Structure 1
């Protein structure tokens, strides 16, 4: 996360981004209930901001369970929210510069997008990839890491 708007999205549970007048008008909320109150006219935001439209946002790097609503001139165009479904640590082998195989570990979370049913793979280094389903994630692991072993895991039941 390299820019101020992306970082600010990580500090709140819910944010509305409205692209208008060549700016991004942002309202942040500590919970989705406050956003619902805001839509009814309450001034209950936790923060506000005005950003340039050249801010590059990576919605697939949002924190788990963070809701972001995107609008253009007040009309909603997208929503983003990722909920964790599986978290694990895996061991795999990778060749070092001498050609010797070294043991490595990677901790990752597979998350489901609430609004488009795709899945997102994010690791502890904040690398993030989107897939159509969990089977595609498994294929990615096999192609990228070869043989691997899950050493710890947690399953989240909606």
Structure 2
């Protein structure tokens, strides 16, 4: 029996709840993304590009809060399956720009069903999920502020 007054009890750890929730929710996405040939991290890249392409790797890295070393293999794989193209900026050869291919742009229509499917599979009210999103956004900002 776990003592809930123990500050080190597993059940009281925010990090544990976040880690399990993250794995569980990503597991809900997996079967929805599989037919498109995407992993969850690749899906996040595509979401950013559908919203704002073209983006430099640096801009994409900042937007997704991923270091370039983590982002690079995701981009290589997305390029290999034909969804994106990476090219040097004509104004500055040091800048690598990521654009969507026609196939990558077309994939957006297939992906439009994912958010509602996730809400349905979770069986939670949309309002509850929106409040969770706001809370998690505050946690992210607080954690990012604590690193400085």
Interval containing the TM-score (normalised by the shorter chain): under 0.3
Select the structure that is richer in helix: 2
TM-score where L is the length of structure 1: 0.23
Select the structure that is richer in strand: 1
TM-score where L is the length of structure 2: 0.24
